[in-house]
Amino acid sequence: MTDSASTGAAQTRRYEDILVVVIDHPPVNALSATVRRDLSDAIAQAQTDTRVRAILLLGAGKNFIAGADIREFGKPPQPPLLPDLCNQIEASAKPVVAALHGATLGGGLEIALAAHYRVALASAKLGLPEVNLGLLPGAGGTQRAPRLMGAQAALDLMLTGKHLPADAALASGLVDVLSSEEDPLDAGLAYTRELLALNAGPRRTRDAAEALADRPAQLAVVNAAAERVAATTRGLYSPAKIVDAVRAAIEQPFDEGLRIERALFLQCLDSPQRAALVHAFFAERETAKIPELKEARSRRLDRVGIIGGGTMGAGIAVAVLDAGLPVVMVEQDEAALARGRARVEQVYDLLVNKGRITADERAARLARYTGATSYDALGEADLIIEAVFEDMAVKQAVFAQLDRVAKPGAVLATNTSYLDVDRIAEATRGPADVLGLHFFSPANIMKLMEVVVGRHTAPDTVATGFELARRLRKIPVRAGVCDGFIGNRILAVHRQAADMMMEDGASPYDIDAAVRAFGYPMGPYQMADLAGGDIGWATRKRRAATRDPALRYVQIPDRLCERGWFGQKTGRGFYLYPDGARQGTPDPEVLAIIDEERRRAGITPRPFTQDDILRRYLAAMVNEAANVLHQGIALRPSDIDVVFLSGYGFPRHRGGPMHYADTVGLPSILADIRNYAQEDPAFWKPSPLLVQLAESGRTFGSLNAA
């Protein structure tokens, strides 16, 4: 090194004739205005420094550049704008090399694409994930990536938002070489010196032509992508704009393509979908801000016990094994234990067959698994998760046994979906150690976990639940104790609204179609068939003794269950599933049963438009969500949004039920509820919180900052 370093977010150091520019903006080198300004200044100064023959860009710490600075979201942009910075880098009269390691995402990858050469370390992960925020790459990414990779690979990168590992990036043409070095400085200097030895000058991505040379073939790829996006993205805005931008990369000169990209980017920026997706992004990060974590830290969490080897218990076991923790599974006898282990092995066999993990990785994970038929095997577990049948007496019996064998300080968790965690805790002498961990099925895949805090649950017990979620890479949401907690409590109410519409004249197939048109992957009756009608039936029977007699009870689902029609697993439910089909078809016999139930109830069916269905369905959801918030079951509106986005299929581009309600307008939703109350005042009772907010001109969003 022959020069001293400058200070700032982009630090410069000269190594003989190479100017090294290090982006140093902890924690992830996000592209803040300061980073952009300092990087622009460094590039400009290098142009006039006669000692500098080449410029090397790299990131300090674990990443190159992880993307935009989320702290600047929603604020007026500060110069230099990222497109201008990328153009400045590309226009450099001296060759610019980017040495990539760790996260090279979004604007970070656009910076790298504007450089003239790219070397990647094995740790590099490259991606353009803007679609996840309702945007498209707006600093030349849609124009430069296709020129290096071709339209197909570039569209795959941008439409999925997935990350490419270094070797795949090399194969695609996105980077030039892989380095075996562990330090990006060593890798970058070595590659830059090779280029200088060859007298390599600037090689601008804008001039790359080979990947798009076969214009008809590339346009055919874009046309196919446009058709696929229209058919599969369920109303999403930015994917179609990404396709349009890539089309411009093929059809237009580079500068015109940049102009089109910028116009499309600004259209996305102004879209309500972008605001909803950004809300979802921040909402997921807010869930970990809970009062208990301000006063306590997680207990030790090295060994996990699981009671029950059914579908849920096995899924939880896989999730824990994947996190690197040893698992002891306890079942009632050897036969049940063997079935539990077989379920765990089946998950890993499928992953191996799909190429997701290697046989060695499968073996390593299963090596952390042990099984037992005695509770005594749980004596060393730091956390024990009960995942047995959803019955209070059964769960209390399990916890009485756990109270006998668990070591002092062990956390005892129930995976109940509905039941009272406080009553379960009463079966132990230490209710402070008990909480609910409501996993969603399949537990090794679904990201959501409700952490249910009982009346006596200790803060460090809660902290341990959140630490488990972090290790399992799940999104934890704190919930209070009530029947169904946050998600299932609200679900029961808007499913009741759907059932009433079904009895009043809308077919289950019309209701499902309306909910899918809103953006859900499936409607409530498709979901009921997938989950199993017997699950809901058992819950309804459990609640029968305490059901409010003033509330209307629709018996249609019970009629199907009485026939043994539980959904996919029995070949029929609300839909028919011939020969084990996964996709159901409407069942005329179900419609006949519905007609008979309408006659029994003395109901004359009336028509429902798609708008009628959605307004009732969503009003019921929002109203009960407001009750959940009002009663302190959820800490904040955005937590409810996260529950529904991560666990119940609510369309992410609508931001969750609370955010969506704010966009519709709370006075409008309240007016609908009051209108519906004229026909059924027992069910349609406006939430006090909804009334308060609507009549004072406030939003649910105003409570998130509280």
Secondary structure of 26-79 as H, E, C letters: CCCCCECHHHHHHHHHHHHHHHHCCCCCEEEEEECCCCCECCECHHHCCCCCCC
pLDDT category of residue 236 using cuts at 50, 70 and 90: confident
Confidence at residue 450, expressed as pLDDT on a 0 to 100 scale: 98
How confident is the prediction for the chain on average, in pLDDT? 95
Closest CA to 493 of 393, 396, 602, 617: 617
377 vs 166: CA distance, rounded Å = 44
Query: 298, 488, 627, 646: which one is catalytic?
Result: 488
Tokens of 453: 């805090």
Q: What are phi and psi of 698, to 5 degrees?
A: -100, 170
Interior angle at CA 287, CA 286 and CA 293, nearest 5: 100
With a CB cutoff of 8 Å and minimum separation 6, the contacts of 110 are: 82, 86, 128, 137, 139, 140, 141, 144
pLDDT category of residue 655 using cuts at 50, 70 and 90: very high
Q: State the DSSP string of 171-236.
A: HHTSSSEEE--SSHHHHHHHHHHHHHHTT-----GGG--GGG-SHHHHHHHHHHHHHHHHHHSTT-
Number of Cβ atoms within 10 Å of the Cβ of 298:
20
630 catalytic residue (yes or no): no
292 catalytic residue (yes or no): no
How far is residue 125 from each of residues 40, 67, 150, measured CA to CA in Å? 24, 12, 19
- Using an 8 Å Cβ cutoff, are 243 and 138 in contact? no
Confidence at residue 7, expressed as pLDDT on a 0 to 100 scale: 65
Tokens of 395: 């769960």
Give me the amino acid identity at 602: G
The tens digit of pLDDT for each residue in 259-298 reads: 999 999 999 999 999 999 999 999 999 999 999 999 999 9
Query: 298, 415, 417, 704: which one is catalytic?
Result: 417
Q: What are phi and psi of 348, to 5 degrees?
A: -70, -35
Tokens of 99: 């040495």
Confidence at residue 35, expressed as pLDDT on a 0 to 100 scale: 96
Strands 117-121 and 177-179: parallel
Number of Cβ atoms within 10 Å of the Cβ of 382:
20
Strands 10-15 and 54-59: unpaired
Q: What are phi and psi of 370, to 5 degrees?
A: -135, 155
Residue keyed to tokens 């604007």: 107
Confidence at residue 376, expressed as pLDDT on a 0 to 100 scale: 96
Number of Cβ atoms within 10 Å of the Cβ of 493:
18
Query: 101, 438, 653, 659: which one is catalytic?
Result: 438
pLDDT category of residue 547 using cuts at 50, 70 and 90: confident
Region 107-113: mean pLDDT is 98
Residue keyed to tokens 């803007």: 130
Closest CA to 44 of 4, 10, 77: 10
Region 457-469: mean pLDDT is 98
pLDDT category of residue 74 using cuts at 50, 70 and 90: confident
- The b-or-e profile of 352-371 (16+ CB within 10 A means b, else e) is beeeeeeeeebeebeebbeb
417 catalytic residue (yes or no): yes
Confidence at residue 179, expressed as pLDDT on a 0 to 100 scale: 97
pLDDT of 415 over the 80 cut: yes
pLDDT of 489 over the 70 cut: yes
Instruction: Average the pLDDT over each of 234-238, 331-335, 633-637, 641-645 and give the range with the smallest value.
Output: 234-238
Region 621-635: mean pLDDT is 98
Residue count of the chain, please give it: 706
573 vs 570: CA distance, rounded Å = 8
This model's pTM is above 0.85: yes
pLDDT of 691 over the 70 cut: yes
Query: 90, 450, 467, 597: which one is catalytic?
Result: 450
Confidence at residue 39, expressed as pLDDT on a 0 to 100 scale: 97
Region 174-188: mean pLDDT is 96
The tens digit of pLDDT for each residue in 85-98 reads: 999 999 999 999 99
pLDDT category of residue 543 using cuts at 50, 70 and 90: confident
Beta bridge partners of 451: 437, 478
Percent of the chain with pLDDT over 90: 91
pLDDT of 4 over the 90 cut: no
pLDDT of 5 over the 60 cut: no
Confidence at residue 546, expressed as pLDDT on a 0 to 100 scale: 87
Q: What are phi and psi of 486, to 5 degrees?
A: -85, -65
